């Protein structure tokens, strides 16, 4: 066998497997790389942020606090107005309830039994006596039928 030449030759080894691999950059075409700002632009930006002195910051804080206080006062005024409207409506409801009670008392007074009886006597009405009642005698054989011939009362 002539396999000995393969042991001494480099054909048996793939040396590229042992070589350091090159890093492939995955560049996507939908990503836009923004250019970095120049040093002058960075310096201008830093200067602008430094320009806000502590006095300006303090003034802005004071303005913010005053605006918050004014908003709080305005909301409290609105709450007081709504509460007064609620109290007015409650007073109106209480007044209507008392009026309803007075009307119910008046209604009960007007329809009382004694008032009805005196009014009936004034109009000439009287209680029925036994002579005023007329009785009708019906035999069991009497049957009532409707227009279609169906017996009623069963």
Summarised one tens digit per residue, pLDDT across range 83-129 is: 999 999 999 999 999 999 999 998 888 778 887 888 888 998 888 88
Q: Return d(Cα 51, Cα 48) in angstroms, integer.
A: 5
| Cβ atoms 45, 39 nearer than 8 A | no
Condensed to tens digits (0 to 9), the pLDDT of residues 132-145 reads 887 766 666 667 67
Residue 2: both structure tokens together: 């002539």
Query: CA 125, CA 118: separation in Å to the nearest integer?
Result: 10
Query: d(Cα 91, Cα 105) in Å, to the nearest integer?
Result: 21
Query: What's the pTM?
Result: 0.40
Q: How far apart are CA 74 and CA 80, in angstroms?
A: 10
């Amino acid at each position: 066998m002539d396999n000995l030449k393969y042991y001494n030759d480099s054909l048996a080894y793939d040396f590229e497997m042992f070589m350091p691999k090159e890093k492939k950059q995955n560049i996507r075409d939908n990503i836009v790389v923004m250019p970095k700002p120049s040093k002058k632009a960075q310096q201008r930006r830093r200067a602008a942020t430094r320009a806000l002195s502590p006095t300006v910051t303090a003034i802005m804080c004071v303005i913010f606090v005053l605006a918050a206080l004014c908003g709080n006062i305005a909301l409290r005024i609105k709450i007081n107005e709504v509460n007064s409207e609620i109290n007015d409506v409650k007073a109106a409801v209480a007044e209507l309830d008392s009026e309803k009670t007075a009307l119910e008392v008046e209604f009960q007074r007007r329809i009382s039994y004694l008032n009805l009886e005196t009014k009936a006597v004034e109009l000439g009405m009287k209680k029925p006596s036994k002579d005023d009642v007329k009785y009708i005698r019906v035999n069991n054989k009497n049957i009532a039928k409707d227009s279609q011939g169906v017996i009623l009362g069963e």
